[in-house]
Amino acid sequence: MKESTIYNCSVIELNRIHKRSGNITVVENLKHIPFEVKRVYYLYDVPGGGERGGHAHKELNQLIVAASGCFDVVLNDGKNKKVVELNRPYYGLYVVPGIWRELINFSSGAICLVLASEKYLKEDYVREYSEFLEWKAR
């Protein structure tokens, strides 16, 4: 989706089932998020202050959640940039395809949970920023 912009990305406030013994947040396909989940993965043991990401996806939709701790997501569509701080497990950042993203400022012990619309596909990645800009401009 090379026409997408960062304004197509949004923070989704998820539900919270609150109990004194702890909270639960539920995510269901097409109900709480606008896509069907085919894959879940999570990043952990990222050193405090660390960074990940630095790529774009051509077709993949993602919901990024700070399941524990916090980090910042830098979204960039080649023209506009914004930084979204994720620091609560009941907020999900919906990232549409065609957005360059960087995950920065990981707190130590943070867990970045990602719900993804497709299985892992190497060919879906754009890993060079110059290539990303070229693809967006095409």
Q: Which residues are catalytic?
A: 55
Q: Is 52 in the site for ligand TYD (CB under 6 A)?
A: yes
Pick out residues in 100-129 that bind ligand TYD (CB under 6 A): 120
Beta bridge partners of 78: none
**DSSP class of residue 117?**
S
Report d(CA 132, CA 87) in Å as an integer: 28
Nearer to ligand TYD, 7 or 120 (CB): 120
Q: Is 32 in the site for ligand TYD (CB under 6 A)?
A: no
Q: Give the residue, chosen from 2, 55, 58, 88, that forms a contact with ligand TYD under the rule CB under 6 A.
A: 55
Q: Which stretch binds ligand TYD (CB under 6 A): 39-47, 57-65, 79-87, 91-99?
A: 39-47
Q: What is the largest CA-CA distance in the chain?
A: 53
Please state whether 8 falls in left (phi above 0), alpha (psi between -120 and 50) or beta: alpha
**DSSP class of residue 48?**
T
What is the binding site for ligand TYD (CB under 6 A)?
A: 39, 41, 43, 52-53, 55, 120
